[in-house]
Structure 1
Amino acid sequence: MRREPSGSLASLRDRNRRLVVDELRRAGLISRAELARRTGLSRSTVSTLIADMQAQGLVAEREVDGAGPQGGRPPVLLSLERAAGVALGIDFGKRHVRVIVSDLAHTVLADLERPMETEQSAQEGFDAAVELAGQALAEAGVAQTDIIGAGMGVPGPIDVATGEVGSSAILPGWVGVRPEEVVARQLGIPVKAENDANLGALAELTWGAGRGSDDFVYIKVSSGIGGGLVLGGQLYTGSGGIAGELGHSMVDEHGPVCRCGNRGCLETIASTRQIVDLLRPARGADITIEQVIAHAREGDRASRRVIGDAARAIGVVIAQVCNVLNPAKVVVGGDLSAAGDVLLDPLRDEVTRHAVPAAGGNVEIVPGVLGRRAEVLGAAALVLRDVDGFALHPPKDVQQKQVG
């Protein structure tokens, strides 16, 4: 039998190791059997590679709560060790900045938030985020040198060619700013930025209602409306980085002028800002979307009506998306998702009514499960899942050889 040259065997082993490490990063916690299934490697190959990486201090075993199959021992799952690095997640909202630290097992080690004034500049936001990141690292007990990168959520689309925040950003002071460039310089680490809706999709894929789904659409309904598309298990952003701008789908050509310059965009009809504005004459100038949702759940007709109208407009747009992409699932997030079935029932009805039966009849429409944490978790997931853009720290035996 012809033996493979040692160089070929070494290359194959390196390739297999990369497959295992990449899948560990995406999964956070995973069994040996599932790792073999996802990578296409034999169980014996996976076990050999894992044993080597355990010896190097790169992989750890963790027992999870609960009994295993047939009431046996709790299942043992694998994860990358914290020594291989941690990720920062940074989220800039309309009135806040939030920072988390996550290890490679997808465990959040610290989570801090600070209120921000809407009129503050982008640079003031960056400065606050850098300061908050230092506090979060201290709380997590990790050094800045442990960070492999930072993901960042910004309030608007980002041009993939220039790295600039686009003109439809909710905060006008961010238009034309290059957040990756600025924050990378201030923190001294690699940084990747995305809009908040895309991060919501990534978070639900990694931790939430989209986990285990390769094809789903995420729609965030808050003061603005945006969408994130997960296709083939990956975030799809389009050629220019603006795929998923569902809030700027036209639903009424004679409707109000939108901040994007067009008329009758979904955002002008179904955003939480519009819902609150419609109820202020009857409910008072200080009413909040949380109060509107509470009133609707209690049966208030006016509150249920405005949420229902918003839901039907959203449903028309989602039906169009279903006809084009045929997703298995739609995840509804953002502030309005707290309305539950008051929102989802009329939305589902409208999707069934307007989508072709094969698409609208089979799609599962569910609420997001991560709430206000979705965007900052998604920012961390940018780093955790990007196996090409953010390198892990080398295992300890490699570090020792470099020192020696």
Structure 2
Amino acid sequence: MNGKRRTKIENMGLILQQIWYEEGISRIEIAKRVGLNKSTVTNLVAELIELGLVEERAQKNVVSTGGRKPIALGLNKEYGVVIGVGVQAEAMRAVTVDLAGTVLLKWQKDTGPITRRNFIPLFLEAMEELSRILEEKGYVHVLGVGIGAGGIINPEDGSIVYSIPLSIYEPFQVCAELAEFLDVPVFVENDSNCCAWGELAFKKGESYRDFIFVLVEFKEERSHIKDFGGVGVGFGIVLDGRLHYGHTFSAGEFRSVFSEGTMPSQFSLSPEELAQLPHNRVLLDKFLHELFSNLACIVNTLNVSHVFFGGDIEGLGEEICDTFMSYVRRNWMYPLPIPCNVSLSSLHDFAVAYGAAGMILDRIFRNRLHQSFWDKRGDKAFLPVLVRHTLPLVKRSRA
């Protein structure tokens, strides 16, 4: 791709970001914010309108000061949808959202144990079922699919490097294998990171630049991984508005400093003890003490502004936020206000799926997609995931 074409596409991405962040923004205001001249913005917006992605809207609450009124811009929410899928040890949850982030459909299915051997057929079955439901509801254009799964995930090459919940112990090129059957871009991400994507992508009115999403799942019913303990904990770490991956994509993988020896559990509690959570109150208090002691040190060391708790731990109620803050205060060494707020996630049971959809929207509006999906139609090149893919999603036989 030549430099001129790349610059054009990058500028389109900047414009789309601003319209995504602020519905009703004008061309003039976009030009001011992104540092482009007005004619460039006008020409690129015209192309986006021609593509059907952007629409002109009636300007609201504008006081006339003479001259021509600025024209408001908005995304065409019906342009297409994105799908987010949370893959757990024995179940899948999916959401479909429009470009505004509105949830159009929720879907879930108990699958039995998901492993390397059956991941692809089970996922394709889910896509076939979702295709039928979406088509019945009139949503026929899909822009991309995001997958969230537990373990060490390399989102750059689309692989699951290592996943205890899915019994995957060597790199699995999941996106490449799914590409053999799906005619739509597919991306994979760690489940805790997906939850962080959800907070980044959908809370557009908030300025969360540095935060940690703490995903806690109680897994006592998942028999095939019971030897690893009954709890899964992971962190999605966002610093300066960007997910922090570490140099081997394992940032956020957690193991307590109190967990010793070769036992695979994340905590000092035994697998038998962890399997009793959250019902055994005495063991739950021990678990929370250990989690909060570790986490408070990380929060104060990184100086994050917010901590979100999500997953099954939300069922313990708002009081866990106050309890955790007591640990943060105990760990804080200065006679100054503690610069951190704590809250439960707003995404609930579908947090991973919703966040996986948010990851796709972020890739749309931040212009960060794989080259192989670039549309090749001459000068009309635009973000690859903005190419609309018509249902059904599964295009090739699995025979």
Calculate the TM-score normalised by the size of structure 1: 0.72
Counterpart of 2:92?
97
Q: Is the 8 A contact 1:89 1:152 kept in 2?
A: yes
Q: Are positions 1:330 and 2:307 aligned together?
A: yes
Q: Which has the higher contact order (CA 8 A, sep 6+)?
A: 2
Structure 1 residue 125 displacement after superposition: 2.7
* Match of residue 386 from structure 2: none
| Residue 147 in structure 1 maps to residue 127 in structure 2 | no
2:128 corresponds to which of 124, 131, 138: 131
Contact 2:202–2:358 under 8 Å retained in 1: no
Aligned partner of 2:248 among 211, 231, 240: 240
CA contact (8 A) 2:175 2:187 kept: yes
SS of equivalent to 1:123: helix
Residue equivalent to 2:164: 169
- The amino acid across from 2:263 in the alignment is V
Cα deviation, 1:200-233, whole Å, max 9, x if unaligned, reads 1111222259943111111101130001011222
Which structure: greater helix fraction? 1
Alignment check: 8 A CA contact 2:256 2:291 kept: no
**Alignment of 1:277 onto 2:276:** yes
Q: Give the Å deviation of 1:372.
A: 0.9
Percentage of identical aligned residues: 26
Secondary structure, aligned partner of 1:114: strand
Question: Matches of residues 281-292 of structure 1 in structure 2 within 5 Å?
Answer: 289=278, 292=279
Distance 1:175 1:338, change over 3 A: farther
* Paired residues of 1:352 and 1:360 also in contact (CA < 8 A): no
Are residues 1:388 and 2:385 paired?
no
Which residue of the partner structure matches residue 209 of structure 2? 214
Q: CA RMSD in A?
A: 4.1
Query: Does residue 102 of structure 2 align to residue 107 of structure 1?
Result: yes
The 3 A distance-change label for structure 1 pair 380 and 13 is closer
CA separation in 1, counterparts of 2:193 and 2:335?
Answer: 26
Aligned 8 A contact 1:308 1:343 in 2: no
Match of 2:25 among 28, 31, 34: 31
Cα separation, partners in 2 of 1:274 and 1:326, compared to 1, 3 Å: farther
Distance in 2 (alpha carbons) for counterparts of 1:393 and 1:200: 29
Where does residue 341 of structure 2 map in the other structure?
Answer: 364
Letter in 2 for 1:172: S
Partner of 1:79: 75
Corresponding position of 1:297: none
2:327 is paired with a residue of what secondary structure? helix
On the 8 A contact 1:158/1:241 being kept in 2, the answer is yes
Q: Does 1:226 align with 2:234?
A: yes
Unaligned runs of 5+ in 1: 1-7, 260-264, 279-288, 293-301, 400-404
Of 286, 304, 322, which aligns to 1:345? 322
- 8 A contact 1:307–1:342 mirrored in 2: no
Give the 3 Å change call, closer, same or farther, for CA 213–49 of structure 1 in structure 2: same
1-side partners of 2:183 and 2:241: how far apart?
30
How far did 1:49 drift?
5.0
Match of 1:250 in 2: 257
1:43-58 aligned at under 5 Å gives the runs 50=45, 53-58=48-53
Alignment partner of 1:376 is 2:316: no
**Across the two proteins, how many residue pairs are aligned to each other?**
352
Offset at 1:87?
Answer: 1.9
Q: How far apart are residue 193 of structure 1 and its match?
A: 0.5
Q: Given that residues 311 and 346 in structure 1 are in contact (C-alpha distance below 8 angstroms), is that contact kept between their aligned partners in structure 2?
A: no
Return the TM-score normalized by structure 2.
0.73
Tell me the SS of whatever aligns to 1:362: coil
Aligned to 2:391: none
Alpha-carbon distance in 1 for matches of 2:317, 2:30: 35
The change in CA–CA distance for 1:334 and 1:313 in structure 2 (over 3 A counts) is same
SS in 2 for 1:192: strand
